[in-house]
Amino acid sequence: MRIDTLITDARIASMVPGDTPYGVIEDGAIAISGNTISWVGERRDAPTAFENAHSLEGRWVTPALIDCHTHLVFAGDRSDEYERRLAGESYAEIAKSGGGIAKTVEATRQANSAQLAAAALRRLEALAEEGVGTVEIKSGYGLTIDSELTMLKAARGAGIASGMRVSPTLLAAHSIPREYQGRSGAYIDEVCIPLVRQAAQEGLADAVDAYCEGIAFSPEETRRLFIAAKAAGLPVKLHADQLSDTGGARLVAEFGGLSADHVEYTSEEGLQAMANAGTVAVILPGAFYSISETQKPPVARMRELGIPMAVSTDSNPGSSPMVSLLTAANMACTLFGFTVEEAVAGMTREAARALGLQDKLGTIETGKIADLAVWDIERPAELVQWIGRRPLHGRILEGEWV
Ligand code: NIG
Ligand code: FE
């Protein structure tokens, strides 16, 4: 195979599980052919025929980071809610009084696709400066057929404008819109399920998500939605057990779901189901921190059970107003007891798995897409130790420097 670029003089944290932490190759080389990694190994064994060579001058290289749970398409502002929480109201109380997600819905319904994409682009750029190459973006602030479709299109548009890979998720079942108050089942049947079918037919979403919680949808409603998603050929994931144990993790695992996200209140039974199904736990410390949650996700037990763990920003205007994946990784370690290696895997290999992209992304391995992040650091742990530092030297996406 013709090699377009041979990257040399690289300290590679391949994130391939094996004998060395981080899958490290100390004096490594990476061959790129088109958009694909065609060879990885020790520099002394590297192929000798290639078009261009590019020395990293001893810099570290990891897979480009992946933020696998965001709500970064939205309009409006929720800083008033922050002040209310500081004054003692809870996230759930604010939601019940018509604030929270409902407030963002009002603003988002007023915005057009171009406005939404422009606002999302700025947030994507902040993630890009930290080495992120792939971002999952959920709908869920439109809650009508048209405005949910507008959000999905805005997510794609922002992705194209940013040069990043965006994986859109349909989250119509995020909140019960005011016109369906008291009729959440009708909202599922009349809006969410038709949207699932349309999104699948038109290729507008890669997965279907829901918010299964006392202040949102019941397990029975979530199940109906998941049955429709499966029938339409779309994988499922779930905002599960964030504020209480609703059996959400067990439910999404039963459907072979990609991920159960938040999982602060997940029971032993839910964890067993996730382990059996290979469902990824997506840990969202920004939301835990921002809403002053005290129940931590059962990280030690998940580790014991071999549940894959990803870490993500949950970037959104209410419960997790953050555009820093490296800060989320730092929080996962300091607040929840992740090791640094787990945190880095959680932003790469396991985040790819949470998106069903583990065959294409998330490690530096032959055959994977050449999405890489190059860093000015001495050790991988520096990535996670610092807050607010951006040690990125540059990104290679689909084999090209950006
Ligand atoms: O992941 N929990 C529900 N959804 C978001 C919150 C969205 C919002 O508050 O606007 C979350 O935390
Ligand atoms: Fe979320």
Average pLDDT score over residue span 116-121: 98
Average pLDDT score over residue span 77-95: 95
Contact partners, residue 223, CB within 8 Å, separation at least 6? 251
Compute the distance from residue 313 Cα to the ligand 2 centre, in Å: 9
Number of the ligand closest to the Cα of 286: 1
Closest approach atom of ligand 1 to CA 78: 10
Which pair of tokens denotes residue 125?
């750029």
Contact partners, residue 18, CB within 8 Å, separation at least 6? none
CB 373 within 8 A of CB 391: no
Count of residues making up the chain: 402
Q: Which residues surround ligand 2, an ion (CB under 5 A)?
A: 314
Q: Residue 248: left if φ>0, alpha if ψ -120 to 50, beta else—which one?
A: alpha
Judged by DSSP in three states, 173 sits in strand
pTM for this entry: 0.98
Residue 19 scores a pLDDT above 90: no
Q: Does the domain formed by 65-354 have CATH 3.20.20.140?
A: yes
337-373 pLDDT, tens digit each: 999 999 999 999 999 999 999 999 999 999 999 999 9
Sign, CA torsion 365/369/168/230: negative
* Per-residue pLDDT, 301: 98
Ligand 1: which residue has its CA nearest to atom 6?
A: 319
Number of the ligand closest to the Cα of 81: 1
Ligand 1: which residue has its CA nearest to atom 12?
A: 319
Average pLDDT score over residue span 308-314: 98
Kindly list the protein residues whose Cβ atom lies closer than 6 A to any atom of ligand 1: 71, 100-101, 104, 211, 239, 242, 287, 314, 316-320
By most ligand atoms within 8 Å of CB, the mutation choice from 316, 320, 322 for ligand 1 is: 316
260-272 pLDDT, tens digit each: 999 999 999 999 9
User: How far, in Å, CA of 176 to CA of 337, rounded?
Assistant: 35
By most ligand atoms within 8 Å of CB, the mutation choice from 80, 101, 282 for ligand 1 is: 101
Closest approach atom of ligand 1 to CA 291: 12
User: How far, in Å, CA of 358 to CA of 278, rounded?
Assistant: 12
Confidence of residue 172 (pLDDT cuts 50, 70, 90): very high
Domain boundaries, the chain: 5-63+362-401, 65-354
Compute the distance from residue 52 Cα to the ligand 2 centre, in Å: 42
Compute the distance from residue 76 Cα to the ligand 1 centre, in Å: 15
Burial of 64 (0-12, 13-18, 19+ CB in 10 A): buried
Compute the distance from residue 138 Cα to the ligand 2 centre, in Å: 8
The identity of residue 65, as a single letter, is L
Task: Output the DSSP codes for 235-261.
Answer: -BEEEESSSS--SHHHHHHHTT-SEEE
Confidence of residue 58 (pLDDT cuts 50, 70, 90): very high
279-307 pLDDT, tens digit each: 999 999 999 999 999 999 999 999 999 99
Ligand 1: which residue has its CA nearest to atom 9?
A: 318
CATH of domain 5-63+362-401: 2.30.40.10
Backbone angles phi, psi at 384, to 5 degrees: -100, -25
Average pLDDT score over residue span 162-178: 98
Backbone angles phi, psi at 214, to 5 degrees: -50, -40
Place of tokens 């019960």: 176
Q: Which of 325, 245, 318, 258 is nearest to 287 (CA)?
A: 318
User: How far, in Å, CA of 69 to CA of 399, rounded?
Assistant: 25
